[in-house]
Amino acid sequence: MAGSHPYFNLPDFTQPSTPSSPSLPSHQRCRPSDATKGLLVALLGGGLPAGFVGPFSRMAYQASHLPSLELLICRCLFHLPIALLLKLRGDPLLGPPDVRGRACLHALLNVLSIGCAYSAVQVVPAGNAATVRKGSSTVCSALLALCLESQGLSGYDWCGLLGSTLGLIIIVGPGLGTLQEGTAGLYTALGYVLAFLGGLALSLGLLVYRSLNFPSCLLTVAFLFGLVGLVGSVPGLFVLQTPVMPYDPLSWSCVGAVGILALVSFVCVSYAVTKAHPALVCAVLHSEVVVALMLQYYVLYETVAPSDIMGAGVVLGSIAIITAQNLSCEREGQVEEQDQT
């Protein structure tokens, strides 16, 4: 008998074997769920680029004493070209009239959040400022979503949220307990307060953005951020601070990097919050803290305490819990049926 042994009936391994199970039809294949896509976008496109913004802002301040409002103006300039995309699509620059007020409120809250963050990073180490801002945004997002949207979280999600908050406390706690007396300690405490207010404004902005639902919503809010930021920052720069014209290439390189990376992070976070719970998005954005701490040590040559490393490990473990618990897939056929209904 060809193809097998006459006694033991062994198969002929010289012939190509047929697959043990047929491949799934295209309508039965899995694809990532909306929550999974949102968290991955927040992690890779929101948290990692944002981790470079704080250290680069501090480098620009150390090189030429660039004021925080001037840095915010430079960042807002990168948002204005989005108006060309809105014009090409034929959409109003300020959004539909019925949601224009909420869209402007979202832009104002984000401008306040970024302004507080840039001010805090000038008097507080970049990693600590990012830690306080992201921690307060996570806690406030969870509380606001529970109170205003009645959105529940699973046990694993709460475990990840509490773990990430604990990691942030481990990072910031020793620094808060050793504040210096006098003017230096007052400025440091003010920096932490500004970072906390920045996180609160960020959580409110994300909640307002979830209530917006119109075509070109993402492009509109990105343009409005630049417009509102310029309108508010230009007068404030001449009243509250002194404009500085940097001449060294390092400052201009840092300003350009901050503008590009911050724009990418803004777009990715705005997209992610429409797919996943805002508290989970803020928790995943804690990856910014880990990146900022690494740059703080290797680029800025600032001290990173053992508590910072321990807290960063707890934050990474919490992000892994949240991401793994929300990793799921949906049948393409089921997704198509849901879209049709």
List the pLDDT tens digit at each of the 341 positions of the chain. 444 444 445 445 445 444 444 554 544 455 677 778 888 898 899 989 988 988 898 888 888 888 888 888 999 999 999 999 999 999 898 889 999 999 999 999 999 998 888 888 778 877 777 778 877 887 787 777 777 666 666 777 778 778 877 877 887 777 666 665 656 667 777 888 888 899 889 889 988 898 888 888 999 999 999 999 999 889 988 888 888 888 889 989 999 999 999 999 999 999 998 888 787 888 788 788 788 888 888 887 877 778 878 887 887 787 777 777 666 555 444 444 444 44
Residues in the chain: 341
Residue 28 CB burial class (10 angstroms; 0-12, 13-18, ≥19) = exposed
Q: Determine phi and psi for 324, rounding to 5 degrees.
A: -65, -40
* Contact by Cβ (8 Å): 214, 99: yes
Residue 25 is predicted with a pLDDT of 52
Name the amino acid, one letter, at 58.
R
Helix axes 68-77, 48-64, angle to 10 degrees: 130
H/E stretch holding 163: helix 155-177
Residue 310 is predicted with a pLDDT of 85
Residue 230 is predicted with a pLDDT of 93
* Contact by Cβ (8 Å): 43, 104: no
Close Cβ partners of 91 (under 8 Å, ≥ 6 residues apart): 215, 216, 219, 220
Within a 13 Å sphere around the CA of 263, how many CA atoms are in the beta-carbon half? Answer: 20
Residue 287 is predicted with a pLDDT of 83
- Closest by alpha carbon to 185, among 123, 143, 241? 123
Residue 84 is predicted with a pLDDT of 94
Query: CA triplet 54, 93, 281: central angle to 5 degrees?
Result: 40
- Closest by alpha carbon to 247, among 53, 73, 63, 55? 63
What does DSSP assign to residue 200?
H
pTM (predicted TM-score): 0.77
Residue 65 is predicted with a pLDDT of 87
Residue 183 is predicted with a pLDDT of 65
Residue 13 is predicted with a pLDDT of 42
- Closest by alpha carbon to 103, among 92, 94, 115, 114? 94
First to last CA, the chain: 58
Residue 165 is predicted with a pLDDT of 78
Query: CA triplet 37, 42, 46: central angle to 5 degrees?
Result: 145
Report d(CA 220, CA 102) in Å as an integer.
Answer: 12
H/E stretch holding 135: helix 126-144
Residue 245 is predicted with a pLDDT of 87
Residue 338 is predicted with a pLDDT of 46
Residue 139 is predicted with a pLDDT of 78
* Maximum C-alpha span of the chain: 97
What does DSSP assign to residue 28?
G
CA distances from 325 to 95, 159, 307 (A): 36, 11, 27
H/E stretch holding 103: helix 100-120
Residue 229 is predicted with a pLDDT of 92
What 3-state DSSP class applies to 30?
Answer: strand
What does DSSP assign to residue 26?
G
